[in-house]
Amino acid sequence: MKKLTRSLVCAAALGLSVAGPVNAAGISDGVVKIGVLTDMSGVYSAIGGKGSVVAAEMAVHDFGGTVLGKPIKIIAADHQEKADVGSAVAREWIDRDHVDMITDILNSAVGIAVQKLASEKHTITMNTGAGSTALTNKDCTKYGIHYLYDTYALPVGTATAMVKGGGKSWYFITADYAFGHSLQDNTAKVVKSLGGEVKGEVQAPLGTTDFSSYLIQAQSSGAQVIALANAGADTINAIKQANEFGIVAQGQKMAGMLVFLTDVKSLGLNIAKGLQFTTSYYWDRNDASRKFGDAFYAKFGKMPTMDQAGVYSAVLNYLRAVKAAGTDNADAVRAELGKMKIDFFGDTGHIRADGLNVHDMYLVKVKSPKESNPKHGHGWDLLQVEQTIPGDKAYMTLAQGSCPLAK
Amino acid sequence: MNKTFWIILFVLGLLAPFAVYPVLMMELLCFALFACAFNLLLGYSGLLSFGHAAFFGSAAYITGFVMTQWNFGPFSGIVAGTLFAGALGLVFGLLAIRRQGIYFAMITLALEQIVFFLSLKLPFTGGEDGLQGIPRGMLFGFIDLNQPLNMYYTVFAIFVACFWLIHRTVHSPFGQVLRAIRENEPRAISLGYNVERIKLLAFVLSATLAGTAGATKSIVFQTASLTDVSWHTSGSVILMTLLGGMGTLLGPIVGAFTVVGLEHELSGIGSWVTVIIGMIFIVCVLAFRRGIVGEIGRLWKRSF
C-alpha cells in the first residue's frame, strides 16, 4: 500500500509543471485570443449561442485573419446562465489561456461578475448580450465596455418615439421584480416628461403563463399604449394572449421593452404584428447591415439577432483598436477604443469613460403578414424601421449615471 | 487499508491545485461538500429534500451581504452564512419532517421557492443581477485570500473539517439511529427513539453544512446569484448524490466531481452538456443503481 501511495504522489507531482508565458512587446504570447462567453444551452441560446461564435469568426475573417502580423484566435464557452460557471471559465481563460478580450456574455449576473473579474486582471470585456444598466453605473469598471444596448435605452427609446407619435396614455404590465420595476420607472419618467400620462400598472409575477386578467385590466383602462415591462417567455406569453383578446386589432398599441428578432420570428407575424420596440440592429436597415445579414445567413441559416451583430461589430472594432494601438495591452487598447470612432454598420458611436458605447438606436414595428415579402431576406422580412433614435437621446447621460470612473 | 486510502485522498487534495486549475478545484470541493451534506439527509436518513438550494443559496447571499455591507471578514462571513442556513433549516425542518416521501419533497420544494422569490425581490440581493463583488478579504487578518493557493487551502480545510464532521456523525450512535429510521421507522419508534427530533437534527445538520458550502462558494466566486437558490441547483445536488452513490461517504464527492467536471469540460460544446449528463444519469439508474461508488464497493466486496 505504501508503494502505491508513493507512486500516486509522484504522479500528482508530475502534473506540477506550469510554464510561464513570455511577454513580448506588441502582442503578448504571439496571438490575440478573443473569448466568446455565451449561453449555448439555455433560454438565450437563440439570441447569442453558436451564432455569436460564427459572428466573431466572421469578424476575424473580415478583418483579414491576422493583426499586427499575429494570428487571431476565437475560443468559446457556455456559461449555462450561471454566474459561477461564467466567472470560473473567464478566470481560466485569463489566467491559463491568456485571453485578451471577452465578449457576448448574455446574462446580467454573469456579465457583472465577469466584468469585475476581468478588470481586476486587466482584461477588456465587450458586453453585447447583458442589458443591466448596473454595468456602466454602480458596477462600472475600467476595462468593461457595454457595447450594444442597455435596459435604459430600449424602453426609453420606445417610449420617446411612441409618445411623440401620439401614444399619450400608457398602461404597464410589469414583471414583478427589480428588472421589471426599473424598466417601468425609466419608461414612465419619459412618458410623463413628454406630456403623456400613465393610466395604471399591474404587476405580474416572473414566469406568469396566464396574462388574461392583466390584459383585461389593460384593455379596459383605455390606454393607447400597453407596455410590456418584462422579457423573454413573459413577453412572448403576454403578446400571444393579447392577440387572442384582439387588443391590437381594436386599436390599442403594444410596446415591448425588451424584444429580440428571434422572439418575433417564433411568435409569427400574425400574432406579433403591430408590436413596437427598440433595437440597435436590424438586418434590413441599410447596405452595411444587409451585407452582414446576408453573409451571416449564408453561414448560419438564420438572420443575425442584434446580439450576434453586436458580437461581430465588437470583435471587429476591438481588432481595429489593437491595430491602431500597436499592442494588445489592455490599457493601450482601452484608451484607443475611447478615442476612436466606433463603426456600427454604417453608424458611428463612441465609448465613454464609464464604458458605455453610445450609438443610435432604432424604433421598429413588426410587419403584418401582408406587408412582409416572403421572398425578401429568406423569410426574415419581419420588421419595419420607423424612427432613428439618436444615441445621445437614447442613453443615460454621464451626469445621470453613477459610475465613479466618470465623475 | 481504510486509513491509507483517506490519507492518499488527502495528499491528492493537497497537491491538486498544482495539477488542476485551482478555481475549478475549489468549485468541485464546494459542490462536493454540498452533495455530502445532502447525502447525510438522503443517504443516511432516507429523506429526499427537493429544496436544498435554499440553504446553499441563502447562505451565499448572507455571507455576501455581511461582507459587503457590514465589512465582516471571510471567517465571520462564512460563519454568518452557515448559522443563517442552520436557522433556516430549523424552520423548514419543523414544517417539513411531519410528512414523508413525496409530501416531504414537495414541502421542501415549496419552501425553497419562497426563498427564491425573496432572493429575487429583497432589496439587498440585486435581483437578477445577483450580489456582486464580494471581497475575498484577509482570513484571520493575515492570510490574503486573493492569492489562489491561500484561497484553495482555505476551501480545502473547510471541506476536510466538514467531511470529518459528517464521517463522525455517520459512524456515531446517532448515525446508527438515523439508519435505523431509514430502514424501518415504526420499529425505531417502538424501540423508544424520538424519531421526529432525530430527523429534525439530521435536517438541521444537513442544512447547516449545505450553508457552509454555499457561503464558501460565494467567497470563491465573489458573487451570489439566483442560480444558487433555484430548484435547478436542488435538482443537480440530487443528481450528484445518486450518480456517485447515496449512502456512501465517497459517493457524493465522486458524483459532484463528475457532474461539475463534465459541465466544465464540456462547456465548449454547448447544449450537449445537459444531454450527456442526462444520458449518464439514465445509464446509472438502469445499469448500476447504487451509483458509481456504491457499485465499485459491491464489486470490491465480491471479489475479495
Q: What is the pLDDT of residues A118-175, one digit of tens each?
A: 998 999 999 998 888 889 998 899 999 999 999 889 888 888 888 988 889 999 999 8
Predicted confidence at residue A19, as pLDDT, reads: 34
Q: Based on the fold, state whether residues A262 and A376 are members of the same structural domain.
A: yes
With cell 442526462, the residue in question is B278
pLDDT class of A350 with cuts at 50, 70, 90: very high
> Do A124 and A208 lie in a common domain?
no
pLDDT given at position A41 = 77
Whether A1 sits inside 8 A of B217 (CB atoms) is no
The verdict on residue B115 lying in a domain is yes
A78 touches chain B (CB under 8 A): yes
Residues A314 and A229 in one domain: no
Q: Is A13 on the interface with B (CB under 8 A)?
A: yes
Residue B90: pLDDT band with limits 50, 70, 90 = very high
Mean pLDDT of B195-223: 93
pLDDT confidence tier of residue A4, bands split at 50, 70 and 90: very low
Residue B99 lies in a domain: yes
Span A85-101, mean pLDDT? 90
Residue A20 lies in a domain: no
Cα A152 to Cα A154: distance, rounded to the nearest angstrom: 6
B34 domain-assigned: yes
DSSP code string of chain B: -HHHHHHHHHHHHHHHHHHS-HHHHHHHHHHHHHHHHHHHHHHHH----S-THHHHHHHHHHHHHHHHHS---HHHHHHHHHHHHHHHHHHHHHHHTTS-HHHHHHHHHHHHHHHHHHHHHSGGGTGGG-EE-----EETTTEETTSHHHHHHHHHHHHHHHHHHHHHHHHSHHHHHHHHHHH-HHHHHHTT--HHHHHHHHHHHHHHHHHHHHHHHHHHHTEE-HHHHSHHHHHHHHHHHHHH-TTSSSHHHHHHHHHHHHHHHGGGGTTHHHHHHHHHHHHHHHH-TTHHHHHHHHHHHHH-
Judge if A66 and A147 occupy the same domain: yes
CA atoms within 13 A on the CB side of B35: 32
Q: What is the mean pLDDT of residues B140-151?
A: 84
Residue A383 placed within a domain: yes
- pLDDT value at A2 more than 50: no
The reported pLDDT for the residue numbered B265 is: 78
Q: How much of chain A, in percent, has pLDDT values that exceed 70?
A: 94
Across chain B, what does the average pLDDT equal? Answer: 88
- Return the closest-CA partner of residue A229 out of A193, A203, A261: A203
Share of chain A above pLDDT 90, in %: 50
Set of chain B residues whose Cβ sits within 8 Å of the Cβ of A9: 11, 15
Kindly state the average pLDDT of the residues B4-11: 88
Tell me the per-residue pLDDT of A8-19, one tens digit each, with 9 for 90 and over: 444 444 433 333
**Residue A311 banded pLDDT, cuts 50, 70, 90:** very high
Interchain contact B167–A (C-beta under 8 A): no
Question: Which of A22-25's residues contact partners 24+ apart within 8 Å by CB, and which partners?
Answer: A25/A327
Looking at the fold, whether A385 and A258 belong to one and the same domain comes out as yes
For chain A, say whether B216 makes contact (Cβ under 8 Å): no
Does A1 fall in a domain? no
Question: Could you tell me if A385 and A263 lie in one domain?
Answer: yes
**What pLDDT is stored for residue A13 in this prediction?**
41
CB within 8 A of B61, min separation 6: which ones? B81, B119, B124, B125, B131, B218, B224, B228, B229
Residue B285 covered by a domain: no
Q: Mark whether A212 and A259 lie in a shared domain.
A: yes
The number of domains in chain A is 2
Q: Is-contact A41 A78, C-beta < 8 A?
A: yes
A334 and A186, same domain (yes or no): no
pLDDT digits (tens, 9 = 90+) for B92-102: 999 998 888 88
Residues A159 and A214 in one domain: yes
Q: Which domain holds residue B139?
A: 19-230
Whether B203 has a pLDDT exceeding 70, the answer reads yes
Domain of A115: which CATH number?
Answer: 3.40.50.2300
Mean pLDDT of B236-259: 90
Nearest-by-Cβ selection for B132 from A4, A116, A205: A116
Q: Which amino acid is at B63?
A: T
Nearest to B129 among A1, A8, A134 (CB): A134
State the pLDDT at residue A317: 95
- Residue at A4 is within a domain: no
The answer to whether residue B151 sits within a structural domain is: yes
Q: Do A291 and A302 belong together in one domain?
A: yes
Confidence class of residue B45 from pLDDT cuts 50, 70 and 90? confident
| Structure-block grid coordinates of residue A191 | 412618458
Q: Is residue B298 part of a domain?
A: no
pLDDT band at A81 (very low <50, low <70, confident <90, very high): confident
Dihedrals phi, psi of B58, to nearest 5 degrees: -65, -35
Quick one: pLDDT at residue B271? Answer: 65
Check residue B270 and give its pLDDT. 61
Is the ipTM higher than 0.95? The answer is: no
pLDDT the model gives residue A330: 92
Residue B108: inside a domain:
yes
Look at residue B207 in the predicted model and tell me its pLDDT: 95
Q: Across residues B204-212, what is the average pLDDT? A: 95
Sheet containing A66-67: order of strands? A66-67, A70-78, A32-38, A101-104, A124-127, A144-146
- A221: containing domain: 153-281+361-394
Chain B: residue whose CA lies nearest to A7: B8
User: Do A145 and A249 share a domain, yes or no?
Assistant: no
CA distances from B188 to B119, B177, B184, B223 (A): 39, 8, 6, 43
Q: Does B3 touch chain A (CB under 8 A)?
A: no
How many domains is chain B partitioned into structurally?
A: 1
Residue A3 has pLDDT above 60, yes or no: no
Q: Would you say residue A134 lies in a domain?
A: yes
Question: Are A125 and A196 contained in the same domain?
Answer: no
